[in-house]
Each structure stands twice: as C-alpha cells, then as structure tokens.
Structure 1
Amino acid sequence: MTDTDLWVRRFHPADAAATRLLCLPHAGGSASWFVRVARALAPEVDVLAVQYPGRQDRLREPGLTSAHEIADRLVAALLPLVDRPVTVFGHSLGATLGFEVALRLRRAGVSPTALFVSGRRAPHLRKVERTHLRDDAGLIAEVRALAGTDNALLEDEDVLQMVLPAIRSDYTAAETYEYRPGPRLDCPIVAHVGDSDPRVTVDEARAWQEHTDAGFEFVVHPGGHFYLNDNMSAVLRSIRAHTRSLNPASRGGGTFAHAEQPG
C-alpha cells in the first residue's frame, strides 16, 4: 500500500472529472464523513477524502499531534493526485490543515484553485485552548457539546476506548497549532461559519480574508459548530459553482470578489 492509499479515500471515483476536491475532516472525524459529499459531486468532481492516522482502517497507527507534520505527510502523499486542478475544503481542524496544505502545494508548484474553510478562525488568531489536556470525561463532554459525533458511539465504552486516542491527538494538533507568517495564498478563500458556533466567532472567521491575494467570499449560516449537518447542500452549491467556473486547462481559480452572504 502506498502513502497515497493510506491518506486518501475515493468513495465515488470520478476519473473523467476535470477537477478534484480534497476534503479534510474535523478533529475526531474520518474520511467517511465525506461519503455524501463524494456522492453529491460525482461524476462532475473527483472527491478525495483524507483519512488521518488513528481511526477506522488506520486505527493501529498512532495519531499525529502536530498540524504541520500532518500537512507535510499529507502533501507528500497527494503529489500523485495533482494531475488536474485541485480545490481544498476543510472543516474545523480540517480548515487549518487545508490552509497548510494549500501553502505546501503552492510551494510545490501546484496552487489550489480555491480554499474553502469552514467552522474555524483564521490561522493567525491564536487562542489558549486546553481541551486536549482534559481527562477522558472532559474530552467526551466537549465532543458531545459540539454535536459532531453520534452520541450513541460516545455511549459505547468499547468504541470510546478505540476512538479517544485519535480525538485527543486531533485536538492537540488543533489547539497547539502555531501560524508561521509568510506569503499570502494566490488562490481565493471562501469561508463558511455558523452564526452560533461556540468555537469561532463570525469576526474570527471573516479574518480569513487576510490570507489571500486572490479574492474572498464569506458566508454565515444558521447553526453551531456543525452547522454543516443542516446546511451541507448550501456549501456544496458554493463548491460546485466554483468548480464549474474553472478552465480545465488552468490550475488557476475562478474570479472572486469580496462578498458576504447570509446563510
């Protein structure tokens, strides 16, 4: 098995698609969270869902606790798949990782067509967060409060023992992330956020505009950290509109103006 096979899942392969969408899950999430995204966008877009170590079919691998290390290893695995334009989408931790992946792809000469970020403050905004230092009960309480994981799974002690190490590793990566100042992205950024997200304010999400020279779009949806549970179709419309705007012969993005839209 190659590194690419370890890191990337293609639930609905679309070999004839002109573009690819790289999807990065939230802390504690897995590639399978994007099955419905792959189904919705195929065969128009080839969806690449990232599988972090420490969960599902990578359960026996130790989780990674550094966002920079995750991005480094993921980009190395992605290089065989950047033979056509790639758009990046990430939610929560996945947004931060998507930003770091976009930077690394640009340095490798393959700038993404756009970066879609969801439910995450801009990279340069640092907060002191200590969820990853809580005991197991405290960590479970936080996950349950954000409503991103099926509560039935959280009540199963055997499942908990399997998934908690990965959740803790992901929270460590998210909460200890340090932004490294550098050139801004040359692709557009589209930021989505829930209006009652307890983890990120609307202003913190809007600050993503400081990280691109190629246009910015901002969309506020009703809901909390996992507003996506009820608004995924709206986010997919945004992604689909972008991918349809692309010239398949170019790796450049579509034209974005500064815009703010209601959910």
Structure 2
Amino acid sequence: MHKGTHDSELWIRRFIPVADPEVRLICFPHAGGSASFYHPFSRELSPLVEALAVQYPGRQDRRAEGCATDLADLADRIGEALTPWTDRPFALFGHSMGATLAYEVARGLEAAGRAPDALFVSARRAPHRNRNDGWHLSPDSDLIADLKALDGTGTPIYDDPEFLALILPVLRSDYRAAETYRHRPGPKLNCPITALAGDADPRVPVDELRHWGDHTAGRFDLQVFPGGHFYLTNQQARVLRVVIDRLLGVGAG
C-alpha cells in the first residue's frame, strides 16, 4: 500500500482504512457537498471494498481555500492526487456535479495509462448534454429554495443562518463550475459505465441518464431507484448492492 503524498492527503479522505482491499471506490461529492457525505459508504463497503472520498477545496477542513471554478482543471488536479491510490483495481463514483468530475478524471486517467475499471454516475446529465440553468446567478433566496426542493427532507437546517452563511458561497461557486462546464470531444471511455437515477428527480429526468451510454465503448446500464435527486440517501443499501455486485467482478478480474 502506498502512502499518499502531501497533495494526495489534501484531496483524498480515507475514513475506514482497509489493509488489503480487493478494489477501491473513489467517490466524488455533489455541488456544495463534502467528502463526509460518503462516510456511510466507507462503513458499508468495508472490508472487501475500500471507499475513498474526494475533498474539494473551499469546504470543511479546506474552507480557507478558494473553491474551484473550472471542472476540467479541478479534474486534472484530482487525477494527480489519486496517483497513490491506483495501485490496484479501482472505480469512480460521482453524484450530481461529482458525476461529471468523475467522468473527467476517468478520461484523464485512461489517457495516462491508469484507467479505472468502472465508472458510476448518479443524478447527472451526460457530459455532452450539460446545460446552464443560471442557478449560480440566482439570489440567495432562490438557491435556498432549490436546496430544499432537491433535498426533499424538510430538514430545518436550511433555515439556520450560520449554516447558510457557510454553504451558500460554496454552493454558488460549485453551481458556476458545473453550469459553465463544456464537454470536450474525445475518445470514449473503455471502462463500463453504470448510471443511477431517482425516478422522481426534479432536476434530472431518468431518460437523460441514458445518454451516458454514448461515452463508453464498454458496457452501459441504467439503474433506477425510488426517490428524488438525493435518492441514494434513502436507498443506500440498494445502491451499494449494485455497486458491490459490479466491483466484486472487477476485483475478481
């Protein structure tokens, strides 16, 4: 097992170390999200699968840093930080904005001869169908309303001024990066892609997830779960069963 470089330790969170994992799953958070969103994945996937989570600048222990404004540049930096963790089979999992980032990181890793064995993309339009809805230019009140609508839990945390003061600048910056992203034509990925969707997602219709099949020369499949944009919170066991079934095949290969 390689020890991460200082740069890798800055970017990658290893909540539950696994001494000799069959495969690693590297997880990419959504807009406004942080690495801790995937702590439950680490717990449930251990010990066969070691889950790692990417920590973007501008949040939690990286709050003093400026948020990234360009997804392609951010993907390049993350790809470099992942070098110590690609010494065995690994896959990438991204939710919402994280799906686009995971895809761009996969492209960079394949080009560098360190291709992932699988890519999981959740609740996100395919790269070539990205669109700018202008959320990053919206007033705070609209962003808060959007947060509540996408979360769908009715949690009172979105009425907490201190929480909002922390999350809104990060969310606005992430939305800007996600909405201004433009797909660059290039070779299809060789690794299989599994797209995951909530059947009642108000932001990304299920049919949009089918277009991810255009970005792989390998197998593509679509898994649909009950729920909205954050369906995977309530459907974690079912989501991880899909992930594990594919990852154990990767590890055995």
TM-score, normalised to structure 2, is: 0.94
Quick one: which amino acid aligns to residue 107 of structure 1?
A
CA shift at 1:127, angstroms?
2.0
More helix by share: 2
CA shift at 1:26, angstroms?
0.7
CA shift at 1:246, angstroms?
2.3
Quick one: which amino acid aligns to residue 120 of structure 1?
R
Is 1:186 aligned with 2:190? yes
Counterpart selection for 1:63 from 67, 70, 92: 67
Q: Output the CA distance in 1 between the equivalents of 2:152 and 2:14.
A: 22
Q: Output the CA distance in 1 between the equivalents of 2:229 and 2:250.
A: 30
Q: How large is the RMSD of aligned CA atoms in angstroms?
A: 1.5
Is 1:114 aligned with 2:118? yes
SS at match of 1:174: helix
Q: Which residue of 2 aligns with 1:17?
A: 21
SS at match of 2:127: coil
Change (3 A) 1:94 1:18: same
Counterpart selection for 2:57 from 53, 60, 79: 53
Deviations 1:122-165 (A, max 9, x none): 11113231001012222111111101788333222122212221
Q: Superposition pairs for residues 51-200 of structure 1, below 5 Å?
A: 51-147=55-151, 151-200=155-204
Q: Output the CA distance in 2 between the equivalents of 1:221 and 1:182.
A: 31
The alignment covers a number of residue pairs equal to: 249
Q: Which residue of 2 aligns with 1:41?
A: 45
Whether the 8 Å CA contact 2:89–2:251 is kept in 1: the answer is no
Whether the 8 Å CA contact 1:88–1:115 is kept in 2: the answer is yes
Quick one: which amino acid aligns to residue 231 of structure 2?
Y
**What runs of 5+ residues in structure 1 fail to find an aligned partner?**
251-263
Q: Output the CA distance in 2 between the equivalents of 1:87 and 1:149.
A: 30
Is 1:205 aligned with 2:209? yes
Q: Output the CA distance in 2 between the equivalents of 1:73 and 1:148.
A: 33
Deviations 1:61-105 (A, max 9, x none): 111111111101111111111111110000000111010010011
Q: Output the CA distance in 2 between the equivalents of 1:180 and 1:118.
A: 20
SS at match of 2:77: helix
Whether the 8 Å CA contact 1:54–1:165 is kept in 2: the answer is no
Q: Output the CA distance in 2 between the equivalents of 1:223 and 1:143.
A: 15
SS at match of 2:197: strand
Is 1:220 aligned with 2:224? yes
Change (3 A) 1:109 1:88: same
Q: Output the CA distance in 1 between the equivalents of 2:28 and 2:149.
A: 21
Quick one: which amino acid aligns to residue 122 of structure 2?
S
Q: Which residue of 2 aligns with 1:253?
A: none
Q: Output the CA distance in 2 between the equivalents of 1:10 and 1:47.
A: 7
Quick one: which amino acid aligns to residue 133 of structure 1?
L
Quick one: which amino acid aligns to residue 27 of structure 2?
C
SS at match of 1:246: helix
CA shift at 1:224, angstroms?
1.1
